[in-house]
Structure 1
């Protein structure tokens, strides 16, 4: 199962999310898009999921905290307890033995990040 993890700021556009996803490897073969629970109902994410033809997997912040990620944002680490929400969401949603296919990619406007993981599912 291939899962894209996304994190985005308030005000991020569909173009920003799409750009980050493409930079991370694109939507081909995705089974789902994952994000932290409080972002899962965002209209812009729903639009991207519809465009990609995949469901959204909401992952609680408690689950994401402590997931070791290869890239780190100090601001995200302090707020959420993980280095990258996009990477952590992708790993969590892809299953217990998941591995990252791509580390986080950031949109040019810096409002969206995406990473892709593959695993056996959760």
Structure 2
């Protein structure tokens, strides 16, 4: 899916997770983080997570597209992160997965409305599109 067509709503949900984490854990944290917010355009994560069954199943349960972003796309928004992750930096060479993916999904037109939240091996952050 093309990134431009994936982001047609106002919110982007960035997701990171440990390998093998359940869809239930992912959905639970996303629902907690987005309670009371407008509907999201999709779930966004780093390309390294392609093939992670829990993420695919969570996206299906939430009826949202799952978009994989390059490390370069995540690195490009590093100066806008609220909660850099030493673990993400060590593992993927980027300062964040969840926050960076949420911001990168909005192509520089977003701000974090829910900074990184973590529970049960899952991290979630939400960015909102803002008009220039």
Alignment RMSD (CA, Å) = 1.9
Match of 2:82 in 1: 70
Match of 2:45 in 1: 35
Alpha-carbon distance, 1:41 to partner: 3.2
TM-score, normalised to structure 1's length? 0.84
Alpha-carbon distance, 1:60 to partner: 0.3
Match of 1:95 in 2: 107
Q: What residue ranges of structure 1 are gaps of 5+ in the alignment?
A: none
Residues 1:3 and 2:15 are matched in the alignment: no
Give aligned pairs, total.
118
1:84 and 1:24 map into 2 onto residues whose CA distance is 17
TM-score, normalised to structure 2's length? 0.78
Match of 2:23 in 1: 14
Q: What residue ranges of structure 2 are gaps of 5+ in the alignment?
A: 1-9
